[in-house]
Structure 1
């Protein structure tokens, strides 16, 4: 029951960014053009696809692999279902393309998706059918994707309309939401009807190396990262990005969820269990070193946002649409494209305070929720 979650994040908290410079190392050079590759570790290729969003690109990764049919590439994330992504993939796998020029050949052995957002899973159905290979995902990501695709063609549910009305949306904004509802599958090829489940802590043999699945939560339900200690790399998806903060939102399907609590907990877990020496391969931005510093900055940014939100709610009760100024550096148009994302993040921060007994929520006579500090 969602209006098609997007991969977009937002720039780092300006208050946090102004405190102390964050020094990350970017050792891999210029990004490859769509349809080209760059090797950044033995048997690990960097691919980049264009996106039709404000966030203009996604990084994909191909890892040398083999199975009973021979050698090939295990692909991590896939890009959106767009003509541009299709053209890039066709160039990559063509007889004269960069994947065909490798010892593994232009063959995909399996497709791993970190999570279910369209830029990550959009071409998975096409690739798995073309190469007769398996889709590997965590169960919650796969099933959530199937659920969202099933919303195509439906009218916006009453529960969703009521959710956004309680957050302070105007009738005009609700009309815009109704007109856009069910657009998730626009960018997603039909998923295969079966998949291979991956789980937190699972060890996978991919080609010549062992990889470990590390699940994070908050940005999506059961986001998979992949770590190879022998190669010294981590495919981080959207769980750790170098320059933007991933969107952490509450959606109408689970209005009392606490994804920000999940996100902060995941940051701490990654910080304490993963080596700071890893080369991080993010979905957006460039590969970088400095994992621990980046995780610290992400945690600090959310804490600063929570502190500003606490001060705002201490002044007087506020509707969700009235707390945006405490959380975002730019203005949010009451009927614009960012309203849904801003509302989701706003509710995530408010639910975080509610879940910890710091704030209370009241149902106003106008049918809108009002929040205040205890």
Structure 2
């Protein structure tokens, strides 16, 4: 546990539910932890006891990617942890593959087609997920021709790496092969009645188009999704579909929406362990990005920098190709925050690469 983590309280200790099992974290709220085949090797999913239209059952929050191991874990949960009751709805916080990937399968009741449940999402997340799942590679740092052009324009010029990125055009649709054709829209400040308790929707931006967190005042529990994580900082990237985006400013502004919540609320994040210390963590995240912005300012003052030039400034460890795509997107987000705030100017060189330097008075 690093020094920042030690400032937080982990009421569940080091106990983690194994794949295919659940652990209660609050009355009527169960925690499932599914494996992921990435460097970030798990995702937390939540099952909430519920009653809809007179039917007893469960609401599931987030799904995991489409993967046989995760399906097997869910099948074990269906058999052993739901008390013979169906899933009544599936809420997805945002469109990233580890959250949306299995929604179509969960809504249809798994391999045995046990039930038909409705998908609930914000419009921004549902629309983006539908587009990317369809195989349109435009709009994701993950891969495809548009992503390769985006990276090249921001300083990633190694042709072998760019070709690998082009070849990953089906990356998203492999993990999210289908998105339900119908959904129910949720919006900022909506209050969803789940198990007799009100859960208020808190939307956030910068990490994804219209991320939905859920706060229950009765239980003093926040399902934070990826907006507030205890151990790692949320990825905040500029994508090829919005090449002049200001993702970091959107993210930092979104953190303010969590400030009114009680200091002792139990935060249920998508990665890492449930924790208390929300306000402490919000401060840590702001400090983290302030330090990264200071590094970017210093680097650009020494010479005009592309996003690729900034990657080794912000990320001092070796990166594989997958990690590089996210690192470059995050470097660009920090450059854009300073550029759009008027601190930096950008200029496109004869080589087609955007570089940033201090704006001249």
Please tell me the TM-score bracket, short chain as reference.
Answer: over 0.9
Describe the SS at the equivalent of 1:178: helix
Residues in 2 aligned to 1:132 and 1:25: alpha-carbon distance in whole angstroms: 39
What is the deviation of 1:368? 1.2
What is the deviation of 1:327? 1.4
Residues in 2 aligned to 1:214 and 1:44: alpha-carbon distance in whole angstroms: 19
Asked if structure 2 preserves the Cα contact closer than 8 Å seen for 1:124 and 1:189, the reply is: no
In the alignment, structure 1 residue 45 sits paired with structure 2 residue 24: no
2:327 to 311, 323, 342: 342
What is the deviation of 1:190? 1.3
What is the deviation of 1:82? 0.5
2:210 to 198, 222, 237: 222
What is the deviation of 1:127? 1.1
Describe the SS at the equivalent of 2:48: strand
TM-score (norm 2): 0.92
Corresponding residue of 2:87? 108
Residues in 1 aligned to 2:135 and 2:336: alpha-carbon distance in whole angstroms: 26
Corresponding residue of 1:264? 252
Corresponding residue of 1:98? 81
More displaced stretch, 24-33 vs 296-305 = 24-33
Residues in 1 aligned to 2:166 and 2:221: alpha-carbon distance in whole angstroms: 43
Describe the SS at the equivalent of 1:80: coil
In the alignment, structure 1 residue 352 sits paired with structure 2 residue 331: no
Q: Describe the superposition over 1:26-47 as per-residue Cα deviations: whole angstroms up to 9, x where unpaired.
A: 1124111111111111111111
Q: Describe the superposition over 1:134-177 as per-residue Cα deviations: whole angstroms up to 9, x where unpaired.
A: 000000000000111122689x7654333221111222221111
Residues in 2 aligned to 1:175 and 1:40: alpha-carbon distance in whole angstroms: 45
Residues in 2 aligned to 1:98 and 1:229: alpha-carbon distance in whole angstroms: 26
Residues in 2 aligned to 1:153 and 1:324: alpha-carbon distance in whole angstroms: 24
In the alignment, structure 1 residue 74 sits paired with structure 2 residue 59: yes
Residues in 2 aligned to 1:137 and 1:161: alpha-carbon distance in whole angstroms: 30
Q: Describe the superposition over 1:46-98 as per-residue Cα deviations: whole angstroms up to 9, x where unpaired.
A: 1111111111111111111012252101000011110111000111112xx12
In the alignment, structure 1 residue 32 sits paired with structure 2 residue 17: yes
Structure 2 portions without partners, runs of 5+ = 110-114
Q: Describe the superposition over 1:189-221 as per-residue Cα deviations: whole angstroms up to 9, x where unpaired.
A: 411111000001111111111110001111111
In the alignment, structure 1 residue 126 sits paired with structure 2 residue 114: no
Q: Describe the superposition over 1:248-273 as per-residue Cα deviations: whole angstroms up to 9, x where unpaired.
A: 001111100101000110112212x2
Asked if structure 2 preserves the Cα contact closer than 8 Å seen for 1:22 and 1:293, the reply is: no
Residues in 1 aligned to 2:222 and 2:132: alpha-carbon distance in whole angstroms: 28
What is the deviation of 1:304? 0.4
Equivalent residues in 2 for 1:1-374, closer than 5 Å: 22-29=6-13, 30-94=15-79, 97-100=80-83, 105-130=84-109, 131-151=115-135, 159-169=146-156, 170-271=158-259, 273-332=260-319, 336-374=321-359
What is the deviation of 1:236? 0.5
Describe the SS at the equivalent of 2:263: coil
Residues in 2 aligned to 1:332 and 1:167: alpha-carbon distance in whole angstroms: 17
Asked if structure 1 preserves the Cα contact closer than 8 Å seen for 2:189 and 2:201, the reply is: yes
Asked if structure 2 preserves the Cα contact closer than 8 Å seen for 1:212 and 1:227, the reply is: yes
What is the deviation of 1:22? 4.6
Asked if structure 1 preserves the Cα contact closer than 8 Å seen for 2:137 and 2:146, the reply is: no
Residues in 1 aligned to 2:107 and 2:57: alpha-carbon distance in whole angstroms: 13
Describe the SS at the equivalent of 1:27: coil
**Runs of 4+ in structure 1 over 2 Å off:** 151-154, 156-162
What is the deviation of 1:21? 7.1
Describe the SS at the equivalent of 2:267: strand
Residues in 2 aligned to 1:359 and 1:194: alpha-carbon distance in whole angstroms: 44
Q: Describe the superposition over 1:226-249 as per-residue Cα deviations: whole angstroms up to 9, x where unpaired.
A: 000101100001010000011100
Aligned residues: 348
Residues in 1 aligned to 2:310 and 2:133: alpha-carbon distance in whole angstroms: 31
Which protein, 1 or 2, shows the higher relative CO under an 8 Å CA cutoff with sep ≥ 6? 1
Residues in 2 aligned to 1:158 and 1:57: alpha-carbon distance in whole angstroms: 29
